[in-house]
Structure 1
Amino acid sequence: MTGHGPKLTHRPVPLAIIGGGAAGLFAAAAAARLRIGCLVFERKARIGSKMLMTANGRCNFTKDISPERMLADIGEPVASFVESALKRCPPSMIAAGFKARGLRIKRRADGCLFPASEKAADVVHVFGDLLRDSEIPLLSNCPVTGIQPMKNGFIVATRGFTVWAGKVLVATGGVSFPKTGCVGDGQKFAAALGHRIVPHRAGLAGCETRDRNVLSRVGARYTQNVAASVVREGKTLFRATGEVEFEPWGVTGAAVYNCTRWAARHLEGGRGRWTLELELDGERLSVRDFAVRPVKEAIVTMGGVSLDDIDPETMESRIVPGLYFAGEVMDIDGPTGGYNISLAFATANLAVESMKGG
């Protein structure tokens, strides 16, 4: 634990959840269902800050596909790690849970699920109402400063007080969009307790370029008959379909995001190491001289707590018993389109259900 915390000034809790984002909030919902007393720490003034940004403020909260299809789309090495979590909490269960809490759902042709209002705030409100109805304490504007394992639990320290908790779930997210509270503190706690940390890099991100053929299309958006491919030495290694949009700095959109993710996982993609090939309504455009946008701007962070240090059947640390992880704090990621928030929900659910079993 960093520093020397003050004396215990909050009542003991069976479970401390660090992070009030997608994973932490779903964990609180699971704890309420299983009657596990918990407390949620959130460093920002409100919960769900990053969820409010998801899908341009519309919150694509899962995808209406089977867990097997989702795992295939996610790919290795992540799929093997999250298989138990996703099969225990598949997209159908996620959707049913929101429906049961009164959320009206809209299904897009590709299976992506949104609130019918297309307002992310409606998804966050579901969690806010659940915390209130379940009388789960939420400590907002309350960043955790350290976690200290004890004989039968943990001391969780903040700037003003400490809490004894029987178990701890770290659900602090990655390091992209730090203004939402994703600043990497969970990874720092994990490292301090002996866990290996995989270096962070951009997952789903746009490509920055000065290519004239790209910059001449600024403002153009392609939504049909569009594909993007990762090409190396003349060979197509990966292909994705989806939107492509041209910005003053380069090219973005779902098809591009999924290419940069694949390359970062499999090629350690970087400037000039592979070619982004775009198919735009019958026209082909090759972008060779580019750089992937920085990690702080990525939709998803790659890297985090090493999966080798976490039990995939429980989400419990292999290093510190009673310490659990969920969501993007770990080195997990998926394509754009509801996959990553589904992973946050599913890993959080598995972690809390495992606590009950233990």
Structure 2
Amino acid sequence: MQPVQAPFPATRFRRTRASAPMRALVREGSLAPSDFIWPVFVRDGDNLSEDIASMPGVARLSVDRVVAAAREAASLGIPAICLFPYTDPAKKTKDCAEAWNPDNLSNRATRAIREAGIDIAVMTDVALDPYNIDGQDGFVRDADGYVVNDETVEALVRQALSQAAAGADIIGPSDMMDGRIGAIRAALEAEGHRNVALLSYAAKYASAFYGPFRDAVGASGALKGDKTTYQMDPANGDEALRLVARDLSEGADMVMVKPGMAYLDICRRVKDAFGAPTFAYQVSGEYAMLAGAAANGWLDGDRVMLESLTAFKRAGCDGVLTYFAPAAARLLNG
């Protein structure tokens, strides 16, 4: 008697991969321009666009060009733009007073976008490093270069209030000082800025992926010491959950993991644990690796761009800060 031939398994996963329509039908996640926040670098001048060598395809823009960029982003369906200033070195000081100057680059760009009537959310960065002669996110008061916490938080509150007064919709504290979310939230409420949202850089790691960003904001070579006493150890995961829990309890509306691609496990854990709006920052080094490889013909630039952004959504992110935002949006819009 011939042995009975076992039937092929009833489930063939390739059935739903057999054509583009079938793949679209069962796709678990989706990517859209509305998932992006576009980080933009602002510089002084008029009608200027200055290429950043370490970030292919990215430039520092004068305020008028930033307004044009915001208009382009809105037309592509990108809901938010995030401003980072390239501050004149002569305005960088120990007291960082330019950080809360109503007429600093970030505030001027915010007002210009608001005055242009563009239907886009403006996000700003709260940290002292663009204005600090020491290159740190907070005040250096000790001989050993240690960044002091509570005095820095007082300055961050002043900076956040100046940004809210200029018309920022979202304020992004990226400094990683303890207690800054609660202090900023209390100050915003007291000054009547009740609808200004806080997107906390809750889990920001002391990463080596930030190098090109420091070029972009003119901080390369200015940093005295490092940031390991306030940014997270890349080996830690549980600590990220504790930080997110604290920032949400202090009034953060949204939370961020930074960097992104090397920390997708943290994104997933944060989303699963809290269910809060969760973002990641595809930082300058992550962008530069892909953009640089694509420029050299080593990778298919469009495909790796969309694949990398899809990974953030698969990991649980509600959105991503990415320098690819306009290029990705154009592709997704067809």
- TM-score between the two structures when normalised by the length of structure 2: 0.29
Structure number with higher strand proportion: 1
Structure number with higher helix proportion: 2
Asked which structure has the greater CA Rg, the reply is 2
